[in-house]
Chain A
Amino acid sequence: MSDSDSHAIHSHGPITRPGDLPTSEDLDHAGHGSGHDGHDNHAGHGGIGKYLLVFVALCGLTTMSFLTYSPYWPWRNEPHVGWAFMMAVSCTKALLVVLFFMHVFWEANWKYVLTIPAAMMAIFLALMLVPDIGMRNRMVSQERALHMARASDVRLMEQAAESQVLAEPAH
């Protein structure tokens, strides 16, 4: 113990010997920023109560997105409202998980180095698909137009379901 105590006095800064890397526990303190002294109680950030609060919020948000499916959702005939609402809810949930469960809220600034480029790449990846894939049906050959499914096929089958073409039950 005395050896480690003396070690504590003399080892300043992030420069350590190989194999003597700081453990995650130390680094959590480092992530607190200069406001903390690095020796405060570990439960300072997480805290089980906070996690449970986040859990309750996540459950509440899931119920909210499920609301769009329930008969109480007022915008049944405008699906775009529901989609925007669900995406907002999903992003909120994702933020809660990333910030609190993945501890990103308490991490040092390295978090931006990893997450921002990845997020930008992700967005550009999706955007680059739009011209070739998203707009693939703007201009199609006549033959393809003939064979591809359309909304009218769904209506046709719904009409077929309501029609009484088949004589009920054949005796």
Chain B
Amino acid sequence: MNASAISLPHGHDGHSADHHGGHGGGHGDGHGHHGPVLQYQPGLPLTRGKLIMWLFLSTEIMFFAALLGSYVVLRFGAPVWPKPHHVHLSEPIGAFNTFVLICSSVTIVLALEAARVNRAGLAKLWMLLTLLLGILFLGVKGYEYQAKFSHGIYPQKPRSQIYEKPDLYYGSAVRARLGEPAIIDKLKELDDTPADQLTAEQVAARGRLQQIRKMVTSPEQQAFDLAVVADQVMPLPTAGPGGSHDGGHGGDGGQGGHGGHTSGLNDIFPWLRLPAVIPGGNMWASTYFLLTGFHAVHVLVGLIVFTILLLYKLDSKQAGKIENAGLYWHFVDLVWIFLFPLLYLF
């Protein structure tokens, strides 16, 4: 095998120079080469592809360090930052995704090992598994994004429905929404619906909705009333461990001791889409979607690379390509290792 025939020195430049000088060009002639042969000495003892991948990764380190650093700095400089369950983050789902990425890191390493010993079929199997795990990660991420969108938390347009505090601006936004012609019609329809056509939850929610409609328009409105309105529209769950609030429709965590209701009016009547209050929620949404979005784009690029690699016969000739793809993928895993605790557990 030609490849293994090139024996490299053991990292001593002087040593190699001696050998080279000793052998000189005479051997080159003996092999039948014509004229002087241009010689190339790599600056670093690694292949070009791997060198470029590592250079790229070192720029990626700085890219994600800037993102993560800004997140940490923004977060700890903020007067208030939402708790994970305030913004409908589910820690078990995040932990599951961490597990998925770790598994995919192992499978790509195993693909590389299989390719190195020339077991192309096995390498392809591991590579396929890596691809599937990556797709699973993105699927779970999409499900999580959906849970945010359904609560009116968006990265950008349509404008986030999140207000920072239950103040007069919030009250006028709720009034404006309740005054929209389409919503007036829907409210009338809801009011006229006989109670036996609604679930018990909907009947109770309808009663609360009628009261907050009075509250936001009342001339005797108290400052505290707006907090009550905000709490009714989308409560800040106070669930501790064990509470699952991802869908917003799940059971109560039990430990929270939330006063009476766990899902807000926006959850019970999805068409309502009233503005909600999450203190610090807008900055949280910006950083969350930016960090996880860039990470998801990196995952997507990795999946494209794996798909292309799957077109090859993954024998020892492709080991270098698999190694480079693997280096990239481990880096993506690395970023998630920091993202998971910073976003879900802090």
Contacts and interface: CB of A to CB of B under 8 A. Distances in A.
Contacts of A44: none
Interface in B114-148: 116-117
Contact of A22 (B8, B10, B235): B8
B345 A69 contact: yes
Nearest to A47: B113
Nearest to B227: A160
A25 B106 contact: no
Contacts of B117: 42
A60 B210 CA distance: 51
A105 interface: no
Nearest to A109: B11
B58 A11 contact: no
A61 B55 CA distance: 29
A160 B228 contact: yes
B275 to A, nearest CB: 14
Contacts of B1: 4
B55 A114 contact: yes
B70 A133 contact: yes
A33 to B, nearest CB: 6
B181 interface: no
B247 to A, nearest CB: 18
A27 B17 contact: no
The dominant DSSP class at the A interface is helix
A108 interface: yes
B80 A7 contact: no
Interface in B88-122: 91, 95, 98-99, 102-103, 105-106, 109-110, 113, 116-117
A71 B5 contact: no
B106 A51 contact: yes
Interface string A93-116: 110011001110001111001110
**Most central of A5, A26, A154, A167 by chain B CB within 10 Å:** A154
Contacts of B58: 114-115, 117-118
A115 B44 CA distance: 14
Interface in B1-52: 1-12, 15-17, 19-20, 23, 27, 31, 37-42, 44-48, 50
B323 interface: yes
A148 B47 contact: no
B335 to A, nearest CB: 9
- Most A-side CB within 10 Å, residue of B103, B334, B341: B341
Category for how many chain A residues contact B: 35 or more
B267 interface: no
B338 interface: yes
B294 interface: no
B91 A17 contact: no
Contacts of B241: 69-71
A122 B54 CA distance: 16
Interface stretch (B151-159, B161-169, B182-190, B303-311): B161-169
Interface string B61-80: 11001101110111011111
Contacts of B39: 15-17
B42 A118 contact: no
Contacts of A103: 323
A16 B40 contact: yes
A139 to B, nearest CB: 12
Given A23-B3, A24-B323, A101-B109, A17 B345 contact: no
A14 B109 CA distance: 27
Nearest to B344: A69
A81 interface: no
A166 B44 contact: no
B326 interface: yes
7 contacts: A25-B116, A86-B345, A93-B337, A103-B323, A129-B73, A154-B80, A159-B227
Given A31-B45, A133-B77, A165-B225, 7 more contacts: A10-B31, A21-B47, A59-B99, A102-B330, A133-B73, A157-B227, A157-B277
